[in-house]
Amino acid sequence: MDKPGERFVPDLLERGGPLRGAPQALDARLFLQLHVYTGCLDEPAVVEAVRASRLEAVVYADANDPLGVGVLLMAESPQSFVEETRELLAEQPFLSLTRLPEFTMMGRTYATGREPDLEDWLLRKAKRAALDPENSWALWYPLRRIGAFNRLPREEQGRIMAEHATIGRAYGEAGHAFDIRLECHGLDRDDNEFVIGILGPKLHALSKLIKDMRSTRHTSEFMQKMGPFFVGRAIYQSPLPAGARALAGS
């Protein structure tokens, strides 16, 4: 609410920038969920189980655990995570593995209000980044900001985030790193607010991006907690759906 005493009206729509002069609004999101396991002695069996499920997914080898694997799953309906995903992870080879719940992350895509193609941003952009074979390395981590950020005027929030976004955009334009930003309010066991995926062809570039972001006001003044960090290299990526491919010139 912007004014004291103003009646609050829930708004469940995501909103983008004007498209051909008309406002964009959509009640749809893409949900992503990461599960991490240790004790894996048969990576091919994990890959085959995920492949056979026909779910949109990525399997990662955990760079910090020689017996670790991560499974990233994507779906527009959260129902998938208590049906198809649950069915997959409740059978072998996953029953023989040890799940690491502290690394479980779940979030949903969201809009900032400036997206030129809202539907593509919400439902397809994250898939392109996660399933692109060039993006073989990934860092996934949750974060929570201090409450003071939410009390700042929206204009100041925008300036702070613009500084932060400039660095990420430069890495993306150079082909070094691409980000997936998800909201996880109420979805995270540790009360984190966002899940971030940083993906690219070279791990050192992803690490350098995280370092460069530390100097921004957003991270240096308003960050309460980041992590734990999952560092993985993709050993399987499901095929990118034809409908998720970028339009020419986009």
- What CATH number is attached to the domain comprising 114? 3.30.70.1030
Domain that holds residue 34: 23-238
Q: Is residue 114 part of a domain?
A: yes
How many helices, marked H, and strands, marked E, lie in the chain? 8, 12
In-domain check, residue 8: no
* Domain-located, residue 101: yes
For 103-122, write each residue's pLDDT tens digit. Answer: 999 999 999 988 999 999 99
Q: Rounded to two decimals, what is the model's pTM? A: 0.91
The answer to whether position 52 is within a domain reads yes
Q: What is the pLDDT along the chain (250 residues), one digit of tens a residue?
A: 556 678 889 999 999 998 888 899 999 999 999 999 999 999 999 999 999 999 999 999 999 999 999 999 999 999 999 999 999 999 999 999 999 999 999 999 999 988 999 999 999 999 999 999 999 999 999 999 988 888 989 888 888 888 888 999 999 999 999 999 999 999 999 999 999 999 999 999 999 999 999 988 898 888 899 999 999 999 999 998 887 776 544 4
Would residue 183 count as lying in a domain?
yes
Cα–Cα nearest to 92, from 132, 150, 46, 123:
46
Residue 155 within any structural domain of the chain = yes
Residue 249 lies in a domain: no
| C-alpha–C-alpha distance, residues 49 and 61, integer Å | 15
Check if the beta carbon of residue 88 is closer than 8 Å to that of residue 81: no
Domain count, the chain: 1
